[in-house]
Amino acid sequence: MNMGRKLMTTVLTIICFTLAASLISMNESYSFDFYIVIYLVYATPLILLIGLPLSILLDYLLIRIQFANQVLYLSTRILGYACAGVIGMYIYYVLMGAGEEILNFKETLVLTLFGVLAAILFVLIDMGLEFLLKIRRR
């Protein structure tokens, strides 16, 4: 596993997620640049401290499985990262002391979807960097 690529993926994911989430969230009350700051402050530690370790763990587990088909591998990888996004957000809820509010689906849905968005961005950026590094080595 290439840790340099994982760290680059983390930085690019933070930037892309911040931009995407800010575009989704901006409204008449708060501008785009307000949400840039908010998502940058809140998403950076989550992606760095929860997303990166979950990514390393998931990639370690996926390497152990022998896939007969590349499409099956990619589908499993993307689905695994989406699940890691959900798990990551619930880890965040527990660390923040959410208590029984975790069980309230309506309260946790939006942030959980943002966790899935961040995880999907992470895996897509990681696969793109992996592909570019393979081309560069040739």
- Banded pLDDT at 108 (limits 50, 70, 90): confident
Place of tokens 């995880």: 119
H-helix segments, the chain: 3-25, 32-46, 52-64, 70-95, 105-137
> In this predicted structure, what is the pLDDT of residue 1?
67
d(CA 77, CA 89): 18
Residue 23 backbone dihedrals phi, psi, to 5 degrees: -65, -40
Are 9 and 125 contacting, i.e. CB atoms less than 8 angstroms apart? yes
Instruction: Tell me what the pLDDT averaged over the chain comes to.
Output: 92
- Banded pLDDT at 99 (limits 50, 70, 90): confident
Q: What is the pTM of this model?
A: 0.91
Give yes or no for residue 65 having a pLDDT over 70.
yes
Place of tokens 């793109």: 128
d(CA 39, CA 7): 19
Query: For the residues 35-49, what does the mean pLDDT come to?
Result: 94
Query: 52: number of CA atoms within 13 Å, CB side?
Result: 20
Are 130 and 92 contacting, i.e. CB atoms less than 8 angstroms apart? no
